[in-house]
A and B are shown apart, each in its own frame.
Chain A
Amino acid sequence: MATTACFIIVSRNDIPIYEAEVGVAAKREDAAQLHQFILHAALDVVQDLAWTTSAMYLKSVDRFNELVVSVYVTAGHTRFMLLHDSRNDDGIKSFFQEVHELYIKTLLNPLYLPGSRITSSHFDTKVRALARKYL
């Protein structure tokens, strides 16, 4: 389990549609904004990188001090971004794949407008469970 892990889903319009702090470390007051800053800045890198490969999992794309940003880009250019300090590449990959499945299920919901904020508590609990399992 990673000590720090911040998971964000960013829609294709660069709007965060889901945010979760899934690390075990006690939440610091400035952590949320720092994580957002790092992830937001990493979008620049993703933007270039996403078109250079056909793989969805881009591995770690950016880093800030000891925090690493791993990104997974779906076909619809929704980006799953994980800020983490552990080096568990396989786990992260599996995490992203499972979250992708969950995300697709969310998309299939006719009441969910793609690109809007994911408010489903079911989705949230599932993501947190996956984080516990893989990260």
Chain B
Amino acid sequence: MDPARTPLGQMLLEEITPVVMVLSTPSVEEACLKNGLSFLQMLTPFCSFNNIDVPVRTASDQPYRIHKFKLRLFYGSGVRKPDLKVAEEQLKQVITDSGEKVFSELCTDVPEINHELASSEDRNTPSWFQFFNKELVRVASFSDHEAFDHPVACLLAVSSKDEQPINRFVDLFNTNKLPSLLNDGTMDPKISKHYLLVHDNQDGPTESRASKILTEMRSTFGTSDCLMLCINSSPDAPIKHQVNPWASQISDTSPNQDLDCFLNIDDINEIKDLMQDLTSKHIIPNMEQKIRVLNQQVSATRKGFKNQIKNLWWRKGKEDGADSLNGPTYNFNSIESQIRVLGDYAFMLRDYELALSNYRLISTDYKIDKAWKRYAGVQEMMGLTYFMLDQSRKEAEYCMENAFNTYLKLGSLGQQNATRCGLWWTEMLKARDLYKEAATVYFRICGEDILHSAVMLEQASYCYLLSKPSMSRKYGFHLVLSGEQYKKCDQIKHAIRTYRCALSVFRGTTWSYINDHVHFHIGQWYASLGMYDVAVKHMTEILACSHQSKTTQELFLGDFLQIVEKTGRTFEVTKLQLPVINISSLKIIFEDHRTFGSPSAVNTKEGLWHSLEEEMIPSFTAAKANWLELQSKLIPKKLSQSNVCVAGEAVKVNIEFRNPLQITVPVSGVTLICKYSTSTEELTSNENELSLKTDNEVDHFRDMSSGNSSFLVSEVDFSLGGGETTMVQLSVTPKAVGTLEILGVRWKLSGAIVGFHNFELSHPKKNIVKGRRKPKHPPNEKFKFMVIKSIPKIQGSIHSLPRKAYAGDLRQLMLELRNPSEFPVKNLKMKISHPRFLIIGSQENAKLEFPGCLTKNIDSVQSVTHANPNIMSDTVFSFPVDTSVQGETPLLWPLWFRAAVPGDISLYMSIYYEVADISSVIRYRTLRLHYNVQVLPSLDVSFQISPSRLRIQDFLVRLDVVNKTSSESFQVYQLSSIGHHWEISLLQPPDAIFPSQTLMAGQAISCFFTLKKSRRLPTLEYNISTTHDRSDDVLLVPQCSQDLVYNTNNVPLVNFHHYERLQQKVSLENLGDLNTVDFVLISRPLNSTINHGLSDSPHVMSHHSCHLSTSSTGPISWLVDGPQTLHHDFSASFCEINLKMHLYNSSGVTVFVRIDTSDFDGSGGHLNSVNAVQSATPDNPAGWHDVTPVNELKVTSNALETQPGKALSLESVSPYIWSGSSSTNLHLEPMSSAEVPLQICVFSPGTYDLSNYVLNWNLLGDSDEMSKPSGKCQGYKYYLTVLQST
């Protein structure tokens, strides 16, 4: 790439060009001002030549040609360092102007990142950047350390009008008026002068005076240096030029305003020719001349080995003297300055090789002299020369960096130069596509001046964007940095512009702090410009800033509300982030044929209700046949699948609002947005419309929310504390038949801003509770309802159902049903999920007084007849046919409640009813009630039944009652055994068991009963229905009180008992009912304690224990009968004892029994565990055989006492042997008993446990062999004491 064609090359060709000092008289200026131009301005456009062809020969003999050239013209007063303050102001103005311009463009379009990248080439270097950079470079011009700003020539202009023009010329170049730089010796004052006579043609023709002066001038100053220029040739009327060459010069006037110009084409051509002549014939040859002279001089003094050594030695010598920051001052005629001038002239004439060699030469000198500024300047020029030569890129960059750093080291002195150097450096890097490096350089240019650094940062950001691969994040970051700087110097518009550009990078990122920062500041700045609408738009982005600190949240929200307030109207936005809507919590509750008694019923799974209602509701096909026949013409198929709701009944929507902030947020006016249409066809057409309208959702919603009389929406206000979540129920009540669609929700935040949330469009996945039946809905269908005309709806509740109850608590409740509509309902049915807890009573029960009705003085016959049908039809309860619920009077129906088991119990009830109006879409409805009851443990009742060893049909019952409550006291009142042939009686009088008659909290008691088989009933009674149970009751309180015995065969108790029996039937053995017994323990709480937590103190509590088996050993029971103690003289012989075993078969079938006796020597597996343990631990002296009564035996030594045991175990001799038959087989008929004789032999005195026998039994029923139940029973302990007879 040709370096001259790069932006930097062009810049250098324009900026580093020979300077011509212009000195003019006031009358010259006057003449020019007729055109609205100064003399300088008039000449300037003709100072750059694009196609001249000037041969140049500098130091080398080889001439080359220059095609493009430019001169810079300055007035004498301009040849000095620019005033910093003025320059600053000027730069600021440039920025402000461009800010206004760009901003107005920007407001119309929103930058997109793709767009940005596509058009980055032209966009990202806005024109004003270049202009700004140029201005910045100019600030550093006319520095004393550089030579390219030294005027190479001086143009003296005198008007022909002036008096004594020759003297004027001399005066103009008076040293007093010359710029200080020339006078103080920095610049060479001996510059070539050119004398120009300016003649205004309006003053008269040239010939007369002007030409006379010209000849005079020529004779005075020499022929070649005198020129004449005629201007304003246009006679009277101003000429309008097609192309105004001065347009770029005069920035104040607008470009399309034409200057009144008295310069005609001839004048312009004359100026052009004049300047070209001046350049090609005078200035360039002059410069060539000077270069040659200087080059010779330099070669003579500095080139060659000898000179270098001399130079070095000479420099070293004066080292100590030069220690100031700038190093020594150099005069224009010092050799150093001359080398520099030589280099710069060569550079300007594009002999870069020559320039470079000179720069190199001088650079070391300056370095040694510690003339840092000059050194930096030379380094800078070296870098540029390398660049223009397009060789050694590294060297070029090194030089630039060196220069830049050196300038920076100088501090404020070198600041402008550093900036200029940096800009050139970046241009150099850009020209080589090193954008990333350029960006870092831009970043380094940022000095103390905030405005400059803002612009530099912005340029850096664009460099990042342009780098390959493009670094968009760096771009964004630097834009933000730049925007911040702009803000600091009140360039708000620029700040907004940069931030908006940055937004295109950060949009969609999850870097929360970044997003917040950018949006907040844009919002704030827009607000400061009064553009509140845009501000609000940005501020809404940052509302949900849960990650920020509380103060920041407050700041954000406060600013936001303030801005909204300033807009002066309630703002409406679709994506308001505050509060957050938890869309997954969205639930729509509507009642078609399912109606709900309480919110908790709604939350119950549909499947549960289904299983409950299965038996009640007509089957699906039947229902279809019923109403579709009638309605098929009215309802299109599509809508028959959509949701149905009833006019006048509310559709509720549960939705959760969450406040992500730590501060309280007031939310008001939360309503649903609904759409209503009267016909079904309209709705389908609206669907398309809806999808089209998504673009302007806000408007759409506003339309929707404006009042519609065909439905009512509820409005909810609430305040959300920090981090709180609130579930809100919103409802919409359609008033007429048609179609209703729920579109979304709207709310008002802090009374200022309205937010919308569209349910459907934003979140396609919904959790619809009631949509179970039709899971393949198109998403919109879920929010669409077919509104049908109003039908009756029954409301129901259970009165006085306790929320908490103690286990066993028995109550009478009342179900109340109301029908507020005037239409009657019929065919009421009801089902309860837990008949164990809740039993439907009968109408008669309502009149009964509770708990008096439980006692036995009610005629038992009547209640029994009522009890039976209830137990049988436990599935669905149908109300009597004539039951009707209508109008004011509610239907009351008694229910019995009993808290069966501790725990949290959910009771579900479903009431089915049919709508009398046959034309309705919905023929029947169900009312679903749901109640939760917490059942606390009260009494823990356990029974233990063991067979009595005294009589074969008797049992000993131990009742253990523990009061598990923490504070309640109970009176254990009555125990009833339910079964057809059991008699129960107390072993002790009740006073002995309950002295205080109460069971305190935590207290436990045991009492014993005997249970015997009633002899009164015939044996085969059990075969018939056993529901007609007899009960036998034992009062556990002294009969002194007038309390009566509770009848366990009465209505609620017997029903509950029935369900308890079903429930407790865990592992049913087919032994029949004969051996099982059910107990009901009735207790009463004592009213003395305070029942806090319980709504109503219980009256009666019943505890049921069912299927308690009396026959723990199987179908047979036996009793070993024999002597307990006997005396025998062992000295004579061993003792033979006869025993008798009574066997009884309590089952209904014949039992085969085998009795196996076993002796101790066989340590096999059939020994019982006690014996096995004893044989395994023979050292244990505490065996059963040691139990020798001390009083009977003579006192012996300890050794003697333990001897038999040891001897026994060692020798493994059994203390007794079974001497009868070792195995006896017999068949036992049902319900019969038998006797088996047994015999043992005992060899020594002692106490013996005769339990080592086994009874094997087999049931010999009619069933096949395989499934014959059989079992094995170990003998029970039977102690026999044999004493030595005296």
Chain A residues near B514 (CB-CB < 8 A): 33, 36-37, 40
Q: Is A108 an interface residue (CB 8 A)?
A: no
Question: Residue A37 contacts which of B464, B469, B477 (CB distance < 8 angstroms)?
Answer: B477
Which A residues, 51 to 93, have Cβ-Cβ distances below 8 Å to chain B? none
Q: Which residues of B contact A14 (CB under 8 A)?
A: 509
Across the A-B interface, how many residue pairs have beta carbons closer than 8 Å? Answer: 47
Q: How large is the interface on A (under 10, 10 to 19, 20 to 34, 35 or more residues)?
A: 10 to 19
User: In chain A, what residue has the closest Cβ to B518?
Assistant: A33
Considering the complex, give the chain A residue whose CB is closest to the CB of B469: A48
B553 to chain A, nearest CB (A): 12
Instruction: Please name all residues of chain A whose beta carbon is closer than 8 Å to the beta carbon of B383 when the two chains form the complex.
Output: none
Cβ of B469: which chain A residues have Cβ within 8 Å of it? 47-48
Contacting residue for B510 out of A16, A38, A42, CB 8 A: A16
- Complex contact B509–A40 (CB within 8 A): yes
Q: Select one of A36, A42, A47, A48 contacting B513, CB under 8 A.
A: A36
Partner of B477, one of A30, A41, A48: A41
A101 within 8 A of B: no
Which residues on the B side are within 8 Å of A43 (C-beta)? 473
Within A13-28, which residues are at the interface with B (CB < 8 Å)?
Answer: 14-16
Q: Determine whether B511 belongs to the interface, using a CB cutoff of 8 Å to chain A.
A: yes
A47 to B509 alpha-carbon distance, docked (Å): 17
For B505, the closest partner residue in chain A by CB is A40
Chain B interface, >50% SS class: helix
User: Does B865 touch A at the CB level, under 8 Å?
Assistant: no
Is B480 at the interface (CB under 8 A from chain A)?
yes
Contacts of B552 in A (CB 8 A): 29
Interface string of B464-479 (1 = CB under 8 A from A): 1000010111101110
Query: Is B516's CB within 8 Å of the partner chain A?
Result: yes
- Cβ proximity bits B510-540 to A, threshold 8 Å, 1 near / 0 not: 1111101100000000000000000000000
Tell me, rounded to whole Å, the shortest Cβ–Cβ distance linking A50 to chain B. 13
In the complex, A48 Cα to B469 Cα: how many Å? Answer: 8
Residue of B nearest to A41 (CB): B477
Q: Which of chain B's residues have a CB closer than 8 A to the CB of A38?
A: 477
Q: Which residues of A contact B549 (CB under 8 A)?
A: 29
Task: Report how far A30 CA is from B512 CA in the complex, Å.
Answer: 13
Minimum distance in angstroms from A61 CB to a CB of chain B: 12
Given the complex, which residues of B lie within 8 Å of A32, measured CB to CB? Answer: 513
> B472 contacts A44, CB within 8 Å?
yes
Q: Which residues of B contact A33 (CB under 8 A)?
A: 513-514, 516-517
A44-B511 contact given A37-B480, A38-B477, CB 8 Å threshold: no
State whether B476 touches A41 (Cβ < 8 A). yes
Write out the residue numbers on chain B whose beta carbons fall within 8 Å of the beta carbon of A40: 473, 476-477, 509, 511, 514
Given contacts A29-B552, A41-B476, contact A36 B471 (CB under 8 A): no
List chain A residues, Cβ under 8 A from B511: 16, 36, 40
Alpha-carbon separation in the docked complex, A43 to B505 (Å): 13
Main secondary structure of the interface of A (DSSP, over half): helix
Most B CB within 10 A of own CB, among A32, A40, A41: A41
A33–B478 CA distance with the chains assembled, in angstroms: 14
Find out whether the CB atom of A44 lies under 8 angstroms from the CB atom of B513: no
Residues of chain B with a CB closer than 8 A to A42's CB: 473
User: A44–B474 contact, CB under 8 A?
Assistant: yes
Interface contact B517-A44, CB-CB below 8 Å:
no
Residues of B within 8 A of A30 (CB): 517
Which residues of the partner chain A approach B477 to less than 8 Å between Cβ atoms? 37-38, 40-41
Question: Hey, which chain A residues are within 8 Å of B464, CB to CB?
Answer: 44
CA distance A37 to B478 in the complex (A): 9
**In the docked arrangement, what's the CA distance between A33 and B519, Å?**
12
Q: Whose C-beta in chain B lies nearest to the C-beta of A8?
A: B511
- By a CB distance below 8 angstroms, the chain B residues around A44 are 464, 471-474
A47 to B517, alpha carbons, bound, how many Å?
A: 24
Which residues of chain A are near B474, meaning CB under 8 Å? 41, 44-45
Residues of B within 8 A of A45 (CB): 471, 474
Chain A residue contacts of B473, Cβ below 8 A: 40-44
In this complex, what residue of B is CB-closest to A15?
B510
Cα A42 to Cα B517 in complex, Å, equals 18
Complex Cα spacing A42 to B476, Å: 11
Name which of A16, A37, A47, A48 has the most chain B CB atoms within 10 A of its CB.
A37
Cβ-closest chain A residue relative to B551: A29
Question: In whole Å, how far is B547's beta carbon from the nearest beta carbon of chain A?
Answer: 8
Give 1 or 0 for each of B535-562: 1 = CB within 8 Å of chain A CB.
Answer: 0000000000000010110000000000
Q: A119 to chain B: closest CB distance in Å?
A: 13
Q: Report the minimum CB–CB distance from B478 to chain A (whole Å).
A: 8
- In the assembled complex, the CB of A33 is this many whole angstroms from the nearest CB of chain B, namely 4
Which residue of chain B has the shortest Cβ distance to A37 in the bound complex? B477
Smallest CB gap from A30: residue in B: B517
Cα distance A29–B1073 in the bound complex, in angstroms: 82
- Hey, which chain A residues are within 8 Å of B472, CB to CB? 44
Give the distance to chain B from A134, nearest Cβ to Cβ, in Å.
Answer: 25
B:582-613 near A, CB below 8 Å: none
Roughly how many angstroms separate A42 CA and B474 CA in the complex, as a whole number?
7
Looking at the assembled complex, report how far the CB atom of B442 sits from the nearest CB atom of chain A, in whole angstroms.
14
Q: Mark B1068-1093, 1 if CB is under 8 A from A, else 0.
A: 00000000000000000000000000
Q: Which residues of B contact A35 (CB under 8 A)?
A: 513
For B471, list chain A residues within 8 Å (CB). 41, 44-45
Tell me, in angstroms, the Cα distance from A41 to B514 when the chains sit together.
Answer: 11
Q: Which residues of A contact B551 (CB under 8 A)?
A: 29
Most buried by A among B472, B478, B510, B552: B510
A-B contact pairs, 20 of them (CB 8 A): A15-B509, A16-B510, A16-B511, A29-B549, A32-B513, A33-B514, A36-B511, A36-B512, A37-B477, A37-B480, A37-B514, A37-B517, A38-B477, A40-B509, A40-B511, A41-B474, A41-B476, A41-B477, A44-B474, A47-B469
Binding site for B on A (CB under 8 A): 14-16, 29-30, 32-33, 35-38, 40-45, 47-48
Knowing that A16-B510, A32-B513 touch, tell me 16 more A-B residue pairs with CB under 8 angstroms: A14-B509, A15-B509, A16-B511, A29-B549, A33-B513, A33-B514, A33-B517, A36-B511, A36-B514, A37-B514, A40-B476, A40-B514, A44-B472, A44-B473, A44-B474, A45-B474
Going nearest first, the 8 A-B pairs with the smallest beta carbon separation are A41-B477, A44-B471, A33-B513, A33-B517, A36-B513, A41-B474, A44-B473, A15-B510
